[in-house]
Amino acid sequence: MTSIETPTENPTRPAIARVQGLKVHFASKKGPVHAVDGVDFDIADGEMLGLVGETGCGKSVTGRAFLGLIPQPPARIAGGRILFRPRRREDTSEDTPEFRPCPTCKGADIVCATCNGSGYDTLDLLAVKPRTMRAIRGRRIAMIFQDPGKALNPILTIGDQLAEVFLQHASADLLADIGGTGDMGGLAAGAVGRAARQESGRLDGILSRVPPVRGHLRRLRAALEDRIAAALAETQISNPRRVIRSYPHELSGGMRQRVMIAQALACDPDLIIADEPTTALDVTIQAKIMELIKMLQEKRKTSVLYISHDLSLVRRTCDRVVVMYAGRVAEVGGVREVFAAPRHPYTRGLLDAIPRSGETRGVLASIPGTVPELVSPPPGCRFADRCVHVMPECTRVNPTLQPLTPDQSVSCFLAHPPAPGAAHKEPELQET
């Protein structure tokens, strides 16, 4: 079963995250919507993985599942796991007990084969406690949203919003920046420590006026501002000190997305979920923002899950690509392989639509029909009613994702005809 369990494994690089059989259903009046219905793929450490498909095929839901940002209700995680192995870090003060050491090397071996030297065991992101999820959000896995105009709080300054990431995840660093609070009494040190963690105690309002505390708090704010300015400067924002004091509505769309990127990268996360980061932007700056993300990703060796429906951008920036259709994975593979020789009819349709993709958003001119209703979907291939190659098998049996080469897997009977006795038939369809 190992090959079926991880059919999309990248043979050259170990995975930082692995999605297995992810199912997310949304309650609706007509019944549960199978928005994501058995998705498998993995993200190799340090790679940029594209996730493409038409609007509504479940890309955002898949991406949000990594951070536990799926509203429940109406949604329900109907099955699956998202395994995530954190990277090795100097500062482990933000880890929770659920960050367990690698069972083989106990975290000691930097060339351990099991954990690839990360020293950590894997965590199932769908099962961790809320506290662990909070420790992961922003620190280990960060998100860049589609519309920076909506993802920034309109009534807080850019500086206030970036400060939160540091206060939540880097308070130890901030306290180190100001030389610690060792020289202070317990009460005063407590107040400064709480300020560095974005907490407030009952007496902090009064304590913050006491001269030694006030001095420390002032230096804390200065240290915080230095870090924020550095984070903004990394995204090529020219005047960070001014931007810190700006409100979102005073910035252009491109600037706002740079701020979002700075915020996502602030704590040097292991993985970034970028959900259509350029879709809401002016066409003229889309490429610039993508180049920026790519440049920062390569510089830091961060892994990126890049969700997009713009195949030309995926082709230019990604290492591998996952093609989703109606809540399932149609095809996975290296960008070069998939773009040169698409094996799924849907992928072919998508690629044929590229020249027109400038005007057509989500609608595929070359494939007639639309994404099927995802309430009680029929058995068999989800693409059957739009596929020109449809065979009798296709409407009865669900084609599972099968590797064709080490670099490419496809779920289509054209590529791997259903074998009699079919190991890849769905259990409920097997004769008893």
Partner 1 sequence: MQLRDYVIRRLILLPFLIIGVSIIVFSLTRIAGSPIGVYLSHEMSAAEVAQLEERFHLNDPLWTQYFYWVKGVFQGDFGWSGVASAAVADVFPAKLAATMELSLFSAFVAVVLGLWLGTFAGSRRNQWQDHVTRVVAVSGASLPLFWFGILLLIVFWANLGWFPVGRSDADIWASINHPTGFYIIDAILAGSLTALWDAIWHLILPALTLGFGAVAIITRMMRSALVEELQQDYVDAARAKGLPERLVLRRHARRNALVPTVTVIGLTLAFLMQGAIAAEIIFRWPGLGRWMASAVVRGDQATIMTYVLFTSVLFLLTNLIVDIIYAKLDPRVRLGD
Ligand X SMILES: Nc1ncnc2c1ncn2[C@@H]1O[C@H](COP(=O)(O)OP(=O)(O)O)[C@@H](O)[C@H]1O
User: Footprint of ligand X on this chain (CB under 6 A)?
Assistant: 26, 33, 35, 53, 55-61, 71, 74
Token output for 394? 């296709």
138 binds partner 1 (CB under 8 A): yes
Q: For ligand SF4, which residue of 389, 417, 429, 430 counts as binding (CB under 6 A)?
A: 389
Residue with tokens 């670099």: 407
The minimum distance between CB 57 and ligand X, in angstroms, equals 4
Residues in 275-334 at the binding interface with partner 1, rule: CB under 8 A: none
> CA–CA separation, 432 vs 419, rounded Å?
17
| CB 265, CB 162: distance < 8 Å | no
391 binds ligand SF4 (CB under 6 A): yes
Site string for ligand SF4, 340-369 (x = CB under 6 A): ----xx------------------------
> CA–CA separation, 276 vs 272, rounded Å?
12
Site string for partner 1, 54-73 (x = CB under 8 A): ----------x--x-x----
Nearer to ligand X, 132 or 308 (CB): 308
419 binds partner 1 (CB under 8 A): no
> CA–CA separation, 267 vs 166, rounded Å?
7
> CA–CA separation, 101 vs 50, rounded Å?
30
Residue spans of beta strands (DSSP E) within 171-313: 271-275, 303-308
> CA–CA separation, 94 vs 245, rounded Å?
28
221 binds partner 1 (CB under 8 A): no
> Cα dihedral sign for 196, 202, 204, 207?
negative
Within a 10 A sphere around the Cβ of 356, how many other Cβ atoms?
12
Tell me which residue of 315, 319, 308, 364 sits closest to 340, measured CA to CA: 315
The minimum distance between CB 71 and ligand X, in angstroms, equals 5
Question: Under DSSP, is residue 306 helix (H, G, I), strand (E, B) or coil?
Answer: strand
Within a 10 A sphere around the Cβ of 205, how many other Cβ atoms?
10
The minimum distance between CB 150 and ligand X, in angstroms, equals 14
60 binds Mg ion (CB under 5 A): yes
168 binds partner 1 (CB under 8 A): yes
Token output for 407? 């670099």
**Exposure of 97 by Cβ count < 10 A (0-12 exposed, 13-18 middle, 19+ buried)?**
exposed
Residues in 385-404 at the binding interface with partner 1, rule: CB under 8 A: none
Q: For ligand SF4, which residue of 143, 412, 416, 425 counts as binding (CB under 6 A)?
A: 412
> CA–CA separation, 411 vs 326, rounded Å?
13
The minimum distance between CB 413 and ligand SF4, in angstroms, equals 4
Instruction: Number of residues interacting with partner 1: please give it, by CB under 8 A.
Output: 29
The minimum distance between CB 56 and ligand X, in angstroms, equals 4
Beta bridge partners of 41: 19
Nearer to ligand X, 59 or 386 (CB): 59
Nearer to ligand X, 51 or 401 (CB): 51
Q: For ligand SF4, which residue of 233, 414, 424, 426 counts as binding (CB under 6 A)?
A: 414
> CA–CA separation, 79 vs 327, rounded Å?
13
Q: Site residues (CB under 5 A) for Mg ion?
A: 60
Q: Site residues (CB under 8 A) for partner 1?
A: 64, 67, 69, 134-139, 142-143, 145, 147, 150-156, 164-165, 168-169, 198, 247, 249, 260, 263
Q: Site residues (CB under 6 A) for ligand SF4?
A: 344-345, 381, 383-384, 387, 389-391, 394, 399, 412-414
